[in-house]
A and B are shown apart, each in its own frame.
Chain A
Amino acid sequence: MIYKKSAGDRLFDTVVYVLSIIVIIVTLYPLIYTFSMTISDPIQAARGNVLLLPKGFSLTALRTVLNDKSIFRYYGNTIWFTVVGTVLGIFVTCLAAYPLSRREFYYRAHVTRFIMVTMFFSGGMIPTFIVVTRFLHLYNSRWSVVLSSLTTAWYIMVARSFFASIPDEIVESARIDGASEFRTFLQIMMPVSKPILAVLALYFAVAHWNSYFSAMLYISDKNLQPLALYIRSVVLQNSMANFADTSARITAAQILSNLQIKYAVIVISVLPMMCVYPFISGNLEKGLMIGSIKG
């Protein structure tokens, strides 16, 4: 693009940059501030002196939160939900998507329609709740969360259109060599479908890591609940009992404010995502496009 650098253009550029910088600031400020509050000196934090960068340095807040050993249990549960949900989710999605992408499968249109219906109609919260807890007896079982959100019609359609775009010759040559349908699926299809597997993995992992609602409905046993419900109880429902008499808090002479504990809980829960993000962000946009337009 060739432009004369006129005064108008320069003004335009300035406006663009100013707006972009505002977007960046607004996006990052809450995250940076939350982090700063967590590692700031409790006195400075309580006085409201922290505005952007940490004032002083103290790990009291983090130590107080980590002193409550139950956070590790919640963390473990979230990891369990994420890993099991992602692995099973990808498996079941591909298991459904592959037959629906094969033209030799005579009934694929019928099955596709059967699955698509669930994109537009759903039983809603209560009937699903009754089925999961009463009829399938999954109340207070980790499987309730994983199985009830195993996959979605949308993911299956995305994976199907990816499989359909793979040249038929690859499948046919495998068949001529005498491979069964399952072998073709596992040994030929799966290896060439790494991009879609990566996209599905990202979608499933993020969804399971962040989900709280089905766990809130189906799991009341605190030993099985995910981290999100822990954050909810500490930050949103103000249950500070876990931190009331920990030694770290007493040595800080009770000045450690509840607010700072809340910030520490938030930081501990988003830290893994923040650590992974720089590595995935490079390929993110490409991956999101595979998953969004086709279908």
Chain B
Amino acid sequence: MKKRSNEKNRLQSVHGLAFHGRMMRKSAPYWLMLVIPLAFFILFKYWPMFGILIAFQNYKIGSPFWGAGTKWVQLKWFVKFMSNPYFGRYVRNTLILSLRDMLITFPASIIFALLLNEIRSRRFRKLTANISLLPHFISTVVIVSMMMTLFSVDGGVINTLIRKLGGNEINFMGNASWFRTMYTGSDIWQNMGFSAVVFTAAIAGIDPTLYEAAAIDGSTRWKNVFRITLPCILPTIIIMWLLKIGSVMTVSYEKIILMYSPATFETADVLSTYSYRVGINEQQYSLSTAISLFNSFCNVLLIVFANKLTRRVSETSLW
């Protein structure tokens, strides 16, 4: 046998059929345990992945993803979708909503964690933290329902208050210019406390001697926030930021579908909600799949871009 250049090659040549046969027998109980989980992933995850192929077909309802009757149409559906007059609107709305998520909702949870840390009374801090976590456990349907009723034009308490203060009623839920505020606002209300947990934990791990040294040097608490707390949790912030980047362009369409109406499509209609309407309501399966594939494609592009950006400003990055 020739000398192997690297370890990997050597391993591969040694591990022949006999080796794998022995290993398979040894790990039989493990495989037995994995039967159900693997069946789940194959049936409900990998099979649909294979189904993405219908974005390039004239898919007929009831036929298999790939069979004798499959008609391939190349990029027909993508062209059709991109020549849609509202194409720009879907992309713009998707981008703006996910950017707002990163630039408003995300910093809000960091600021809240910093705020919690500065509360001196332990009991009050715990109380505030626990109350802020509560909305996370309320369902999207209920949250949108509460928004619809509280901000309603006929009898909603917010408009009642506005009228009592002498203002004009605002149709919060039916007005395209208010949609983004309502979307981001409810997101912060629901998730700020929950997203802050990670940062609170990071703050708890900061060496207290840093603060003692700063106090001796006459630093104020306001300065401590920016010169000690924030720099110390920066790694956590960057990791969470990178995890967020992974889901850029994926807005919570489950919430938008409940919130929007044709009156707010101007700002509320995103790629995924459009794909939902085309697919489920109009049953144009191929077109709908092409739209969500386009969405994922933009997602990948943005991840690459954001990763470059992060690498330029910090040492941590996705790859």
Contact = CB atoms under 8 A, between A and B. Distances in A.
B93 interface: no
A190 B150 CA distance: 46
B119 A17 contact: yes
B292 A126 contact: yes
The B interface, classified by DSSP as helix, strand, loop or mixed, is helix
A130 B44 CA distance: 11
Contacts of B146: 30, 34, 266
B82 interface: no
A107 B91 CA distance: 42
19 contacts: A17-B124, A23-B128, A48-B155, A92-B40, A96-B37, A105-B27, A105-B30, A122-B45, A124-B275, A126-B51, A131-B43, A131-B48, A150-B40, A209-B139, A212-B139, A213-B254, A232-B141, A259-B154, A281-B134
A16 B208 contact: no
Interface in A96-145: 96, 98-99, 102, 104-108, 111, 114-115, 118, 120-132, 134-136
Nearest to A214: B254
Contacts of A193: none
Given A34-B146, A125-B292, A127-B54, A210 B128 contact: no
Interface residues of B, number: 93
A114 B115 CA distance: 41
A210 B140 contact: yes
A27 B132 contact: yes
A106 B52 CA distance: 32
The A interface, classified by DSSP as helix, strand, loop or mixed, is helix
A240 interface: no
Interface of A: 1-3, 6, 8-9, 12-13, 16-17, 19-20, 23-24, 26-28, 30-31, 33-34, 46, 48, 50-51, 92-93, 95-96, 98-99, 102, 104-108, 111, 114-115, 118, 120-132, 134-136, 147-148, 150-151, 156, 180-182, 185, 206, 209-213, 217, 228-229, 231-232, 235-236, 257, 259, 262-263, 265-266, 269-270, 273, 277, 281, 284-285, 288-289, 292-293
A48 B160 contact: yes
A135 B54 CA distance: 15
B37 A156 contact: yes
A28 to B, nearest CB: 6
A105 B33 CA distance: 12
A183 to B, nearest CB: 10
Nearest to B35: A95
Interface of B: 23, 26-27, 29-31, 33-34, 36-38, 40-41, 43-52, 54, 61-62, 64-65, 112, 115-116, 118-120, 124, 127-135, 137-142, 144-146, 148-150, 152, 154-157, 160-161, 189, 192-194, 197-198, 200-201, 208, 211-212, 215, 220-222, 246, 254, 257-258, 272, 275-276, 279-280, 285, 288-289, 292-293, 296
A7 to B, nearest CB: 11
A115 B41 contact: yes
A8 B128 contact: no
Contacts of B34: 95-96, 99, 111
B212 A2 contact: yes
Contacts of A17: 119, 124
Given A24-B131, A96-B37, A124 B285 contact: no
A236 B296 CA distance: 30
